[in-house]
Amino acid sequence: MIDLLKKLTQTDGVSGDEGDIRAVIEKEIKKYCDEISTDAMGNLIAHKKGNGKRVMLAAHMDEIGIIVTFIDDLGFIRFGAVGGLDVKDLVGRRVRFKDGTIGVIGSEDEEFSKKADINKLYIDIGISDTKKIPVQIGDRAAFVGDYTENKTSIISKALDNRVGCYILISALKKIKKNKNDLYFVFTAQEEVGLRGAKTSAYSVNPEYAIAVDVTDTGDTPSAPKMAVKMGNGAAIKVMDRSILCDSTVRNLMCEVSKKNKIPYQLEIMTDGGTDAGAIHLTRAGVKTGGISVPSRYIHSPSEMVAKSDVEACVELAINLVDSF
């Protein structure tokens, strides 16, 4: 788990610029599927052939970040958000551009203290000569957040949703024989509107689908009331703001968990959504569910998950795909 998940989280891939992380995943899985392709949106689609029902498992590759909008005469870089950012917490964070350039986010202190506005923030890369700045308008940067782990937990940037990619990769490697026709899809641009899920689901045209992602928890001080706890097993999605999950799929997931003694909990996330929201509305509709990894501090450089929850999600995915 450690080596692969570290590689996945520390390879940058901001929405719309997923090429590097897609290459890492493709290299990891190409020996374990019958066909592999990349579509026009940048989704990576791995097909493991079977004669049964067509089943799609999806996990998004992209992560939140920033995009350069303006560079002033002193070399300070203005930027916009790519995905959901908590603007008030950005000051002092580091970002990394594709060429490796590191910058620090600063603020117009007096103005920003009055109102947390992204237009009052800038990136300082320590170069004032604009002719020597290796950054241009439209460049994206990911947040810097090292991978660390202990006996029970993992902390890193981009666990949303590289941990979901890890789960799909692990399941694909461990499934030796399959009855159903399986598609493992690593989607693009989830953080900016579930875009890759929409086009890839249209192409795959599945009968059943499972989106694998992270979810909030309710187990930290002053957290909103929520039943999900880190360390209590795989979270089986009931609903979020993008979907009311198909009840037959949800019940099947619970039955598979019980049968295989996989720890699980039920998830209702009232804020946010996943690729499931786009997939279940594709064509005439798709029976869709979700497997979620309980995660603290989502959309920060220090997201946290429990190793036991990740392992439970892998086991659920493996045992679920031929149960439809």
User: For residue range 240-270, what is the model confidence (pLDDT) as tens digits?
Assistant: 999 999 999 999 999 999 999 999 999 999 8
Instruction: Examine residue 150 and state whether it is found in any structural domain, yes or no.
Output: no
Cβ neighbours of residue 236 closer than 8 Å, sequence gap 6 or more: 250, 253, 254, 257, 264, 265, 266, 267, 289, 290, 291, 292, 316
Are 138 and 97 within one domain? yes
Query: Does residue 149 fall inside a structural domain?
Result: no
Q: Does residue 85 belong to any structural domain of this protein? A: yes
Q: Is 53 found in the same domain as 87?
A: no
Are residues 213 and 261 both part of a single domain? yes
* C-alpha neighbours within 13 Å on the C-beta side of residue 255: 9
- Asked whether the beta carbons of 70 and 121 are under 8 A apart, the reply is no
The structure tokens 């981009």 sit at 158
Q: Is residue 182 part of a domain?
A: yes
Q: Verify that 114 and 231 share a domain, yes or no.
A: no
Q: Are 239 and 269 in contact (CB under 8 A)?
A: yes
Reading the block at residue 280, the tokens are 């279940």
Instruction: Please list, in sequence order, all residues whose beta carbon lies within 8 angstroms of the beta carbon of residue 10, skipping any fewer than 6 positions away.
Output: 146, 147, 156, 158
Please return the burial class of 297, using the count of CB atoms within 10 Å of its CB with bins 0-12, 13-18 and 19+.
middle
The domain containing residue 310 runs over which residues? 2-63+157-320
Q: For residues 52 and 251, what is the distance between their CA atoms, to the nearest angstrom?
A: 20
Rg (alpha carbons) of the chain, rounded to whole number: 20
CATH number where 206 lies: 3.40.630.10
pLDDT over 90 for what percent of the chain?
94
Query: Assign residue 209 a region: left if phi > 0, alpha if psi is -120 to 50, beta otherwise?
Result: beta
Question: What is the spatial distance between Cα 80 and Cα 99, in angstroms, rounded to a whole number?
Answer: 19
pTM of this prediction?
0.96
- Is 90 exceeded by the pLDDT of residue 223? no
pLDDT in tens, 88-145: 999 999 999 999 999 999 998 877 878 889 999 999 999 999 899 999 999 999 999 9
One domain, residues 93 and 214? no
Q: 177 and 31, same structural domain?
A: yes
pLDDT score at 58: 98
Last residue of a domain, one of 84, 110, 143: 143
Residue 151 lies in a domain: no
pLDDT of 284 > 90? The answer is: yes
89 and 14 within one domain: no
CA distances for 41 relative to 57, 59, 137, 184, 192, angstroms: 17, 15, 22, 16, 13
CATH number for the domain that contains residue 103: 2.40.30.40
Same structural domain, 137 and 29: no
Q: What is the pLDDT of residues 4-41, one digit of tens each?
A: 999 999 999 999 999 999 999 999 999 999 999 999 99
Asked if residue 310 and residue 173 are part of one domain, the reply reads yes
At 224, the pLDDT band (50, 70, 90 cuts) reads: confident
Predicted confidence band of residue 65 (pLDDT cuts 50, 70, 90): very high
pLDDT of residue 46: 98
- Which of the four pLDDT bands, split at 50, 70 and 90, describes residue 228? very high
- Domain boundary among the residues 93, 116, 143 is at 143
| 99-106 contacts, C-beta under 8 A, 24 or more apart | 99/134, 101/125, 101/134, 101/135, 102/144, 103/77, 103/141, 106/76
The CA-atom distances, in angstroms, between 189 and each of 17, 78, 192, 193, 319 are 9, 22, 6, 7, 28
Domain count for the chain, please give it. 2
Q: Please, what is the average pLDDT of the chain?
A: 96
Which of 95, 113, 143 represents a domain boundary (last residue)?
Answer: 143
The pLDDT of residue 261: 98
49 and 94, same structural domain?
A: no
- Catalytic site residues? 190
CA nearest 287: which of 275, 302, 276?
A: 276
Rounded to 5 degrees, what are φ and ψ at 134?
-85, 30
Over residues 149-160, mean pLDDT: 97
- pLDDT classification of 271: cutoffs 50, 70, 90: confident
Asked whether residue 34 falls in the same domain as residue 73, the answer is no
Co-location of 135 and 184 in the same domain: no
